[in-house]
Structure 1
Amino acid sequence: MRLFKLRDYQQETVDGIIKSIKKGNHAIMITSPPRTGKTVVMAEIARRATAKGNRVLFIVHRKEIVDQAKITFKQQSVNMKLCTLGMVQTFTRRVDKLKPPDLIFIDEAHHVLGKTYLRIINAFPRALKLLFTATPIRLNGKGFTDVVTDLVPGKQVSWLIKHKMLAPVDYYAPKAINVARLKVKRNGEFDTKSIEQAIKPKIYGNAVKNYKKLAAGKQAIAYCYNVASAEKLAAEFNRKGIKAASVSGNTPKDKRKQIINDYRNGKIMIVTNAELFTEGLDLPNVDCVIQLRPTQSLSLFLQFSMRSMNPRKGKRAVIIDHVGNVERFGLPTDDRNWTIQDTKSIKGTNNASSTEIKPVTVCEQCFATFYRTNDKCPFCGADLKREETIEVDEDAKLEKVEAIKRKERIDKILNDGLTNYVADKRPSELNNMEQLKAYAKLKGYKRGWIFYQAKQKGLIR
């Protein structure tokens, strides 16, 4: 006997998958925003599959997700004798020993282009493959058409909030970072050293102050950029009388479990962490998210932000963004129309990478974040100053803060980051000579094109 029934929007997803299969698709990506019950949908499909004697393989990349999925599958009366759940790291080592599945689930499937996943997928070409993710996008813009043939979209965040399936959110973004110092690594993520240089020493004090001002009494998770910053922030909260604990990949398993249990039971108000609690782990009583880690990944941004949006009657989630992530991605409540195509090759479509982000305004008086329509803050009524877009400054130099012997490596990182930055731009959106040079190199244009564009823009006389 099943212990829960699918919500209407979850049933729509199941129906969409069945419709896609009937069209001949056997490798399907399914999208649904974080906090909307992807595991519940998979459990229902697994129940139907095992009831017909089909063997199921469920692949994840974190042990905590395996443990939670097992509980949900059992609750939904899945025949566990026909269902194998485990981590991709384990399955890829013993793929030859696995019993051939009829159905493969892949959770957090934006990771699926990794070699470990592909090895498993390629080993079972006859299996139906259902790939679930909240964010079908990768930093390098690579699409998923090598792996899947169809996309089944879930409901938009705005719809889920309107129908009380997600909590509404108040988003605040104190500008407590020198964004011009941020540098980009080859993989598109920010360089850790540059994050350390960009975040001012008082950021931790500001984080506590703004939490007390904007989210006092709410249980929160703070996403920090490394272990030291997570520990420092937890110590600062404790000094201010707010019970906090820090966890990371270095935290012993038993201690981490105790911290999570204490948080769930309300004994701890704030958990600060580095590299944890971004995907899959269910902490339903999070009401506030504090972002102290800048990211170039829309996937990470949405995982960070929506951690606080589990619904509860009368609840409004609070997100405090100290690092300008909203400036790169817009608000987490924005509608996003996903695609499985290469995002860098699609122009003029409303996909996650090529969409032009509407400018977001941060009020300097109350830190509220919103889309600007006039010169007054809609929250506190303060006069708004002329907005300046916050983004990575590819022209910044590192020589004064880095050892000279590292100059060549740093220059390459910056050049790679600049190339990634201009790849989705039009010539009219390029603002300086370095951007024009990078764009010309990327497109194979001659030096004359750079000179002409620079002259048109008034960069040279």
Structure 2
Amino acid sequence: MGGRRGMNLSLFENPSPPKLPLRPYQEECLQAIRKAKEEGKNRLLVSLPTGGGKTVIFSRLPSHLEEKRKTLVLAHRDELIGQARRKFIASNPEMFVEIEQADHYSTPFAQAVIASVATLGPERAAKRRGRFWPEQYGIIITDECHHAAAKTYQNIYEHFGLPDRKDILHVGFTATPKRGDGAGLGGIYEEIVYHKDIGEMIDEGWLVEIKGRRVSTSTDLSRVRSSMGDFQENELAEAVNNDNRNALVVKSYLEFAEGKRCLVFAVDTAHTIALRDTFLAAGIPTAAVIGTTDVEKERPQIYADFAAGRIKVIVNCMVLTEGYDEPTVEAIIQARPTKSSLLYTQIIGRGLRLSPETGKTHCLVIDLVDNSTKNSVKTIPSLFGLPANLDLKGGEVRAAEKKIKAFIKEHPMSKTAVDPESLTDLDQLEIQSQEIDFFAPPKLSDEVLENSKLTWISRYGGWTMSCGAGREAKIEKDILGHYTVTIHDEGRLMVDQKEKSMGCAFQAADRYVREFWPDALNLLRQNAGWKSAPATDAQLNILRRMRIPFPANITKGAASLLIGQKIASRG
């Protein structure tokens, strides 16, 4: 590690590992950061999923930007601090890289300092922060920056004069999905400079495929209250930590993942220990990792035994969500219900790394799904913008996503297109293709009813509206709290605009729709009269020529939508 007070251990280490190679998208990310910096932007955010190599990217920043001043990396966990230092040394063998944490003090010789937020951030640490002269630093990197709104981080930023100081580049890295949680980040970062989601990384071969299993329980979460966007931990633990549910977790492992290296995510310490004991009672080699598990000896031994296959299951609570990079993980059991897309993404990310040595092709994610009428719990399908109650039955989530999108495009009047959340089984698509409800009104969310007079459908984490022929409008919220409005006409991008509020986004999107598609307004209005008017003879003739099946009493609107979608599906 770095030096203790008055000692710089890195001066004596002389590490000389080979420089870490960059993947193409990592090069793109570095170029995007350089370009934004040259444009005068200095508060940048990078969103990459777990396994995307964020640490490799930011360890290259000083040399890529030719920054001669010092670099400060802020991290909040022991595993992240050690990992960041190792990657910095591998990327910059000539650089003195030191640690600032607890009784380890960086020295004036340090060119890069990996600092613990728990050490530098508290109010009582003002004197220790004073050892860092802001004018000596050119880059500040915040790892896992979804925590950056916390007071401990803000104390450090204020010491360095951020956000007002323009000669320091502040780059935050997070695995938060672009459309995920991120309250408070809009005041810290000005732009998402680079983003790549899990789906893209899987398609490009940088992460393994995800297969999903849904296991329903009898546990009731309807009385569990929420706080800060997720379940209250103590009430959640009380609800889920029971013998029947814990036994179901073990049964699910034996049925779907027996023999696989598996991580199980629990709610709290008591839940972790109870699950570990239930696994052990079933004869499955299992260990538990909790916050008090010794970092220096016990954790490394558990991790080594797991990697070697001597332990098959590790149960943990909020320990392995960050900084644990074992590529041989083959299965994840999500026994800790969450409403947070960030937390869920971090959990499943533990199993998505490539493992050429073992030939791993996919990671199996088993969702324990409890009874929850008023709470929207994250599952594998919902993370990909699919119906939350969809049972993949062990199938690949990306294949399901593509199949559903293609089906909606081909069958715009189907129940799945009108009410996506109604789909619970992919086998229903075949039935729906034969039983189209031409009069089913689209279900509109409260946000749409409050902000627009047009028919916006909630889908894929935002809102979308289509009237065929390559005409599509979208509104999406990103992790900075900004809303992006995009309009495509005949497949061409016509509008790509950011708005600071939901209301402004709907107003802007509605304005563009009226401007670009005045001929479609009767189709798109929520209360349009076409819903009850019969289709014209011309429409009926077109439907017949296109060999589109339709009922005798089809409306103008239904005919228009079918014709437009058929044209769009032809490309």
User: TM-score, normalised on structure 2?
Assistant: 0.59
Distance 1:366 1:147, change over 3 A: closer
Q: Is 1:133 paired with 2:148?
A: no
Counterpart in the other structure of 2:60: 44
Higher strand share: 2
Structure 1 CA distance for aligned equivalents of residues 430 and 213 of structure 2: 15
Counterpart in the other structure of 2:203: 162
Distance 1:215 1:136, change over 3 A: closer
Q: Is 1:6 paired with 2:37?
A: no
Aligned pair partner of 1:256 in 281, 288, 299 = 299
Structure 2 CA distance for aligned equivalents of residues 380 and 234 of structure 1: 38
Residue 183 of structure 2 aligns to a residue whose secondary structure is coil
Aligned pair partner of 1:96 in 130, 133, 137 = 130
User: Does the Cα contact within 8 Å between 2:46 and 2:192 map onto a contact in 1?
Assistant: yes
- Superposed, 1:41-80 pairs within 5 Å as 41-48=57-64, 52-77=67-92, 79-80=95-96
Unaligned runs of 5+ in 2: 1-15, 97-109, 408-415, 417-422, 433-444, 457-502, 504-571
Further displaced range: 310-319 or 179-188:
179-188
Counterpart in the other structure of 1:271: 314
Distance 1:250 1:201, change over 3 A: same
Distance 1:250 1:380, change over 3 A: farther
User: Does the Cα contact within 8 Å between 1:222 and 1:291 map onto a contact in 2?
Assistant: yes
Counterpart in the other structure of 1:294: 337
Deviations 1:165-187 (A, max 9, x none): 00001011211153443422332
Higher relative contact order (CA 8 A, sep 6+): 1
Q: CA deviation at 1:118?
A: 1.4
Distance 1:280 1:177, change over 3 A: farther
- Superposed, 1:410-429 pairs within 5 Å as 426=449
Structure 2 CA distance for aligned equivalents of residues 208 and 379 of structure 1: 28
User: Does the Cα contact within 8 Å between 1:20 and 1:150 map onto a contact in 2?
Assistant: no
Deviations 1:230-253 (A, max 9, x none): 112112222222110011012233
The code of the aligned residue for 2:196 comes to K
Q: CA deviation at 1:207?
A: 1.1
Distance 1:21 1:83, change over 3 A: same
Structure 2 CA distance for aligned equivalents of residues 95 and 175 of structure 1: 50
Residue 145 of structure 1 aligns to a residue whose secondary structure is helix
Structure 2 CA distance for aligned equivalents of residues 241 and 15 of structure 1: 51
User: Does the Cα contact within 8 Å between 2:263 and 2:314 map onto a contact in 1?
Assistant: yes
Unaligned runs of 5+ in 1: 336-356, 385-421, 430-442, 444-461
Q: CA RMSD in A?
A: 3.5
Deviations 1:149-168 (A, max 9, x none): 22112222222111210000
User: Does the Cα contact within 8 Å between 2:328 and 2:360 map onto a contact in 1?
Assistant: no
Deviations 1:85-113 (A, max 9, x none): 02112122221111431110000001111
Q: CA deviation at 1:329?
A: 3.9
Structure 2 CA distance for aligned equivalents of residues 332 and 73 of structure 1: 36
Structure 2 CA distance for aligned equivalents of residues 163 and 367 of structure 1: 19
User: Does the Cα contact within 8 Å between 1:182 and 1:195 map onto a contact in 2?
Assistant: no
Further displaced range: 195-204 or 26-35:
195-204
Q: Is 1:331 paired with 2:365?
A: no
Deviations 1:7-51 (A, max 9, x none): 0011111111111111110111111111110000011113445x6
Q: CA deviation at 1:144?
A: 2.3
User: Does the Cα contact within 8 Å between 1:27 and 1:148 map onto a contact in 2?
Assistant: yes
Counterpart in the other structure of 2:281: 239
Q: CA deviation at 1:291?
A: 0.7
Distance 1:44 1:300, change over 3 A: same
Counterpart in the other structure of 2:490: none
Distance 1:96 1:83, change over 3 A: same
Q: Is 1:17 paired with 2:60?
A: no
Structure 2 CA distance for aligned equivalents of residues 367 and 200 of structure 1: 29
Residue 369 of structure 2 aligns to a residue whose secondary structure is coil
Structure 2 CA distance for aligned equivalents of residues 158 and 185 of structure 1: 29
Counterpart in the other structure of 2:149: 113
Q: CA deviation at 1:203?
A: 1.4
Deviations 1:335-388 (A, max 9, x none): 6xxxxxxxxxxxxxxxxxxxxx5423444987998667788945899999xxxx
Q: Is 1:223 paired with 2:238?
A: no
Distance 1:275 1:364, change over 3 A: closer
Aligned pair partner of 1:315 in 361, 364, 372 = 361
Structure 2 CA distance for aligned equivalents of residues 20 and 145 of structure 1: 17
Structure 1 CA distance for aligned equivalents of residues 288 and 309 of structure 2: 15
Structure 2 CA distance for aligned equivalents of residues 279 and 289 of structure 1: 15
User: Does the Cα contact within 8 Å between 1:181 and 1:194 map onto a contact in 2?
Assistant: no
Identical amino acids, percent of aligned pairs: 25
Q: Which has the larger radius of gyration?
A: 2
User: TM-score, normalised on structure 1?
Assistant: 0.72
User: Does the Cα contact within 8 Å between 1:110 and 1:138 map onto a contact in 2?
Assistant: no
Distance 1:332 1:259, change over 3 A: farther
Q: CA deviation at 1:280?
A: 2.2
Give aligned pairs, total: 371
The code of the aligned residue for 1:16 comes to A
Distance 1:330 1:237, change over 3 A: closer
The code of the aligned residue for 2:202 comes to I
Counterpart in the other structure of 1:204: 246
Further displaced range: 155-164 or 300-309:
155-164
Distance 1:365 1:86, change over 3 A: closer
Distance 1:204 1:27, change over 3 A: same
Counterpart in the other structure of 1:391: none
Structure 2 CA distance for aligned equivalents of residues 279 and 186 of structure 1: 22
The code of the aligned residue for 1:8 comes to P
User: Does the Cα contact within 8 Å between 1:204 and 1:236 map onto a contact in 2?
Assistant: yes
Counterpart in the other structure of 1:214: 256
Counterpart in the other structure of 2:388: 360
Distance 1:82 1:297, change over 3 A: same
Structure 1 CA distance for aligned equivalents of residues 209 and 393 of structure 2: 22
